[in-house]
Amino acid sequence: MNILILPIAEKQLRKLPGDIAKVILAKIYSVRDNPLSYIERLKGGSMWKLRIGDYRAILVISTKDSIINVIKIGHRKNIYKKL
């Protein structure tokens, strides 16, 4: 699957410390081949979450187009606000 990081998520990623950002990107790209075994669906919607330690990536997956859209990236205590 192709991975598309939206500009908002890219901005949130740039605000994080460099070592954490590298771990997050490595994890996102490592689930490219089989994402459904690593992610969980969020309640009440079509979004999914990927757990990366204390951080989360909110995703929207299009199986038809074979694209993973990264919507938000952030700490688990703040990521679910304003979804």
What CATH superfamily is the domain 2-75?
RelE-like (3.30.2310.20)
Domain ranges for the chain: 2-75
**What pLDDT is attached to residue 57?**
96
At residue 28, the 3 state secondary structure works out as helix
**What pLDDT is attached to residue 55?**
96
Name, in order, each residue with C-beta under 8 angstroms of 11's C-beta and a sequence gap of 6 or more. none
**What pLDDT is attached to residue 72?**
95
Mean pLDDT for each 10-residue chunk of the chain (83 residues)? Answer: 94 94 95 90 91 95 92 93 77
Model pTM score: 0.90
**What pLDDT is attached to residue 82?**
76
